Amino acid sequence: MNTNKSSDSVFSKQDKTYTGKEIWNQPVLWQEIFTQVQQEKQSITSFLNKALQHNNLNIVITGAGTSAFIGLSLSGIYGRKSGKHVNAVSTTDLVTHPNDYLSTDSPVLLISFARSGNSPESVAAVSIADQVCSKVFHFIITCDEKGELAKYDTYSPKFVFVLPENANDKSLAMTGSYSGMLLAGLLIARINEIDSLAPQVNVLIQYGQKLLGQSEIFREIAEMSFERAVFLGSGPLLGTATESHLKLQELTDGNIICKRDSFLGFRHGPKAVINNKTLVFLLFSNQQYVIQYETDLIESLHDGQQPLYTVGLIESGTLKAKIDRVFVLSDKGNQLDEEFLPVCFILPAQMIGFYKSIQLGLNPDSPSLSGAINRVVKGVLIYPYENKD
């Protein structure tokens, strides 16, 4: 009886909190974003072609915090589709060391991600780019048309893509805004193919609905007695692992200490974090070549200190490795290009973070009891930049 009451309370908060609504609304949001990108195809293509015509163009993908992690998942696809050099770097690094990342003699396409666009570093980064770069094209992807970044006044060419209103999370933690901007960025990277991507977007939505439909299982995982969590992913899924670790740590007010790494990188020291109070979450590629390396790591997890519980997420197939729980999204084989996986693979960490926050007696919409973290970062002073080579 007590368990049922607890479950009823959890699902009530799922419906009544902004965080819950924003997590469970994401598949609907993804469809809205796809439709919007389709509608803006001509203007997006026109702007990008003006930048991409420069043979020596460098592409920099930036953002702060969660928004910065989007670049970790998108740098590969932007490089492959554009044939240009691409660097994913946070605004927090751009602001302090712009000359390490921004070319002074080659054109730059600066793709900036931001939920509100009101973080001090967001505007500072584009402003400094205008100072440092001989030629810069600003492509801004944001959830708030009234934010400082969207309204940024510049002499440089600028394009602003504003996501649907539902993407602008009201909660502290970025959920729909993250997956929404990630999907928008991915679709824009493949803008010339946008119409042919409709089947993959439909599958993506189905995968999202399937994961959200298994929320009770993720609640049970969240209520296990773990004190640490590790998220592993390769390639574009390293960005997802990075955002996953922040989301769980953020929603639990730091009560759960989280780490992230690539499957191969984890054995080079970080594996020492595992103890019998550690949850390990494994985000598997859908590329067989990559999976070989990833499954090898699983075998090594059972050498030495054992984790409390291991969870795997894979698009299709079976894994020849000992994992406590594996979520398989498709029984029809792989249907998505690998770069689409990060959009839906973030959902488990969001749900686990949401449920763990409730279990700890926190408010998922505002989990920071001390006020150490806020929806928009506060207290950052931006100093005048002097361009010195």
Show me where the domains of the chain are located.
10-197, 199-360
Write down the pLDDT at residue 141.
Answer: 98
Give the separation between CA 203 and CA 185, rounded to whole angstroms. Answer: 18
pTM for the whole structure: 0.94
Write down the pLDDT at residue 228.
Answer: 98
- What is the third-level CATH fold of 10-197? Rossmann fold (3.40.50)
Write down the pLDDT at residue 378.
Answer: 58
Write down the pLDDT at residue 4.
Answer: 42
Give the separation between CA 299 and CA 211, rounded to whole angstroms. Answer: 26
How buried is residue 193: exposed, middle or buried, by Cβ count under 10 Å (0-12/13-18/19+)? exposed
Give the separation between CA 58 and CA 51, rounded to whole angstroms. Answer: 10
Torsion of CA 43, 48, 50, 53, to 10 degrees: -140
- Say how many CA atoms lie within 13 Å of 211 toward its Cβ: 29
Class for the domain spanning 199-360: alpha beta
Question: What pLDDT, in 10s, does the model give residues 180-191?
Answer: 999 999 999 999
List the chain pLDDT tens, one digit each, 389 residues. Answer: 233 434 455 555 566 899 999 999 999 999 999 999 999 999 999 999 999 999 999 999 999 999 999 999 999 999 999 999 999 999 999 999 999 999 999 999 999 999 998 888 899 999 999 999 999 999 999 999 999 999 999 999 999 999 999 999 999 899 999 999 999 999 999 999 999 999 999 999 999 999 999 999 999 999 999 999 999 999 999 999 999 999 999 999 999 999 999 999 998 878 889 999 999 999 999 999 999 999 988 888 878 789 999 999 999 998 878 899 999 999 998 999 999 999 999 999 999 999 999 999 999 998 987 655 554 555 667 788 876 55
Write down the pLDDT at residue 127.
Answer: 96
